Structure 1
């Protein structure tokens, strides 16, 4: 077995193996008050990997151009659309007006297992601050919440890793209805 290194070879492999039955959905991510620019860079990579429409950066979330975002994103920050909406409530209201279903990725009362959620075709995953999670004022504006069960002693995954797990389940899991 030989590692594929050429970009064209990698693209061909991905195209051949990404399931034809994958959902055609509009996916976005709201990054609520993130602290770490490395996480933001990682989130750009995740967003590109799952074909997301955009990232919405709120509060103090670092934004491009930022050297640490560039280091982690490996150029994906140039391929994924993003916008900054300073206030969380404005961001939630704007996304709802645009027809997005807001889904918090959060350990919360009433949250559903991420593999059992009926994901709609226009979805925005709401991802909270790395330490404090999704703020209660933002949770109140969400249409639902999902959690990822943990087998070890850790409480949760890194925020952009959790986003990847849920996003790919939304894309590749069973369709709503």
Structure 2
């Protein structure tokens, strides 16, 4: 096998990305501290044509060198908006018919592999603070809570890793269901 050169990957340019049909997924970052995590979420969102990212609470916004370092230009492609209050955003999105899913360890959470997205639905995935997770008021307001099964000694995954795992899983299921 020969590694492909970047020029052989047939990637979209910025204008093509902006006009491309987006995956009906929205990412909500609820009080993320790490600028590198924020940049990584932008990069993942670019890879899977995520419709939009909402940066909430203490979550920093572009432009910032530490976000840029991991985002690798994806802050220029993925639409984003800053909203101070995550719970208010969740309620607003729900009035627009968007199903809100918190990614958290909670009672009666649906395990990721058991979640099946509904056809023609848009989902907003909420990822929480590196220490405290998704705030309880946002978990309470969510339509669904999804948990990533884990089998080791640690209690959680890094938020950027969680985002990659969940977005890939939901994106794959959406593509299969269409």
The TM tier, using the shorter chain, reads 0.7 to 0.9
In structure 2, the residue matched to 1:89 is 87
CA contact (8 A) 2:105 2:147 kept: yes
Matches within 5 A, 1:93-104: 93-104=91-102
State the Cα distance separating 1:26 from its structure 2 match: 0.6
In structure 2, the residue matched to 1:151 is 151
Aligned Cα RMSD in Å?
1.7
In structure 2, the residue matched to 1:48 is 46
Confirm or deny that 1:62 pairs with 2:68: no
> Cα deviation per residue 1:70-123 (whole Å; 9 max; x = unaligned)?
011011111100001111222112211222100011111111110111323200
CA contact (8 A) 2:109 2:147 kept: yes
In structure 2, runs of 5+ residues without a counterpart are: 12-21
SS of 1:140's partner is: helix
In structure 1, the residue matched to 2:114 is 116
In structure 1, runs of 5+ residues without a counterpart are: 13-23
In structure 2, the residue matched to 1:10 is 9
SS of 1:94's partner is: helix
> Cα deviation per residue 1:101-158 (whole Å; 9 max; x = unaligned)?
0001111111111011132320010111111001111111100111111122121211
Larger helix fraction of residues: 2
CA distance in 1, matches of 2:126, 2:117: 13
Off by >4 Å, runs of 4+ in structure 1: none
CA distance in 2, matches of 1:74, 1:175: 31
SS of 1:115's partner is: helix
TM-score of the superposed pair, with normalisation by structure 1 = 0.87
State the Cα distance separating 1:25 from its structure 2 match: 4.4
CA distance in 1, matches of 2:105, 2:10: 35
CA distance in 2, matches of 1:25, 1:45: 15
Equivalent of 1:105, from 99, 103, 106?
103
